Homo-oligomer: A and B are copies of this chain.
């Protein structure tokens, strides 16, 4: 499956102090040798030890394009498993462009998105779920998303899956042997052991399936909608959450965020505030909550913060909650009533209001002052509690990829049929069919079973140069 073309791409972005250009493939060293003049006269890249760095110039028709460092990697000790070179040049647009142009003129082809990682997969440097983790790792902006991606990159659950799938493969070959001797009615595959193995695999699979909700939260963040009538303090509340974090984010120069979305990171989990521009501008009174746009926002959210003033009539708050509940019916949204401007009430008044709101059976109620910053920590703690963040530290194996989730569910269904078949002493040929199906879905996750379509879908979303 190894490709014959040598690919090249910019591996860094924009114009920093330096840029890195990657080349990988059978001709990588030859192509770069034609352009690179080592500062040490007569030094030939092909004769150098792998994993070494060489100073010199990139030249074109005798003219120097740049002074560069060339990092030399030799197959199989490289990211892709092929011969590979990284050229570290000055970060100017002109130089980047010119060196890439020269590489292409010398026979390299521009890499497609994710093609370096795809080659790493095809050359057995990583399995498919690890390859997918590379893109997730680069995109990770929070500690949670980073941890999930890194665990997956390090082989987290896929090593376990591969091991169990290997054992299942052994059983299918035994059962297929039985089919060859079907007239003799022998059992090569121990049904008791097979039942135990299926149980073991099913246990892991279901643990992984259950972890998806958390994995998804860690990877993609938690969508939160803040609703409430104008001037109740939606914008103040959001800013109070945002500002603290912004100060942390910008404390080391050169690490600014590209994103201008309103997201808040709490203990490594990203909370995304849906359409906050809209929320900030909204002039819908709480009585008109039936308006479609507000319900759309609620529909996208996992958590809905209904903001009211602590001094509002509790009866009206309860009515608002009931109106929302009616609309979302049995939707998955978790609803929190936030009583803002709590500092404007006396302790007794606040206690009375809270007492009246205890009629709400499922909603958490929290009182705070966004403007003064009072009790903001309670809100943060509640947000973390609602996404079950307490479990993150203790749970080692988490999946976050919808493709894995779907494959695991299909594998689980096949395995259920295998279990039933085993219980009802199903004939070997029918049993084998269900096991093969389970093997197929498990193999799709790690890439032991794959198609061009699956690979195409995975790598098209990578960035160029990875």
CB distance from A57 to the nearest CB of B (A): 9
Q: Tell whether, in the assembled complex, residue B138 and residue A252 are in contact, meaning their CB atoms are under 8 Å apart.
A: no
Query: If the complex has contacts A137-B90, A146-B92, A255-B93, are A153 and B67 also in contact, measured as CB distance less than 8 A?
Result: yes
Within 8 A of B (CB), among A230-259: 249, 252-255, 257-258
**Does A324 sit within 8 A of B, measured CB to CB?**
no
Give the secondary structure class of A's interface.
Answer: mixed
**Does A145 sit within 8 A of B, measured CB to CB?**
yes
**Does A313 sit within 8 A of B, measured CB to CB?**
no
Contact check: which of B65, B73, B90 meets A138 at CB < 8 Å? Answer: B90
**Does A340 sit within 8 A of B, measured CB to CB?**
no
**Does A443 sit within 8 A of B, measured CB to CB?**
no
CA distance A66 to B134 in the complex (A): 11
> How many residues on A have C-beta within 8 angstroms of the other chain's C-beta atoms?
65
**Does A461 sit within 8 A of B, measured CB to CB?**
no
Q: Tell whether, in the assembled complex, residue A142 and residue B94 are in contact, meaning their CB atoms are under 8 Å apart.
A: yes
Q: Tell whether, in the assembled complex, residue B53 and residue A93 are in contact, meaning their CB atoms are under 8 Å apart.
A: no
Contact check: which of B52, B64, B96 meets A154 at CB < 8 Å? Answer: B64
**Does A425 sit within 8 A of B, measured CB to CB?**
no
- With most chain B CB atoms within 10 A of its CB, the pick from A16, A17, A65, A134 is A17
CA distance A115 to B53 in the complex (A): 23
Contact check: which of B17, B86, B137 meets A12 at CB < 8 Å? Answer: B17
CB distance from A75 to the nearest CB of B (A): 15
A465 to B, closest residue via Cβ: B17
A116 to B, closest residue via Cβ: B17
Within 8 A of B (CB), among A125-166: 134, 137-143, 145-146, 150, 153-154
- Chain B residues contacting A252 (CB-CB under 8 Å) are 97, 100-101, 104, 110
**Does A95 sit within 8 A of B, measured CB to CB?**
yes
**Does A397 sit within 8 A of B, measured CB to CB?**
no
CB distance from A310 to the nearest CB of B (A): 37
Query: Mask for A110-131, Cβ within 8 A of B = 1, else 0?
Result: 1000001000000000000000
Query: Mask for A6-18, Cβ within 8 A of B = 1, else 0?
Result: 0001111111111
Q: Tell whether, in the assembled complex, residue B141 and residue A465 are in contact, meaning their CB atoms are under 8 Å apart.
A: no
Q: Tell whether, in the assembled complex, residue B20 and residue A18 are in contact, meaning their CB atoms are under 8 Å apart.
A: yes
**Does A88 sit within 8 A of B, measured CB to CB?**
yes
Q: Tell whether, in the assembled complex, residue A138 and residue B91 are in contact, meaning their CB atoms are under 8 Å apart.
A: yes
CA distance A69 to B98 in the complex (A): 26
- Chain B residues contacting A64 (CB-CB under 8 Å) are 150, 154
CB distance from A131 to the nearest CB of B (A): 13
**Does A203 sit within 8 A of B, measured CB to CB?**
no
A-B contact pairs, 10 of them (CB 8 A): A10-B16, A12-B17, A12-B18, A14-B14, A14-B258, A94-B142, A94-B143, A253-B464, A254-B464, A254-B465
Closest 10 CB pairs between A and B? A13-B16, A17-B466, A17-B465, A12-B16, A51-B53, A12-B12, A13-B14, A10-B254, A11-B17, A254-B464
- A13-B15, A90-B137, A100-B254 given. 5 additional CB < 8 A pairs? A12-B19, A18-B465, A64-B150, A90-B138, A94-B146
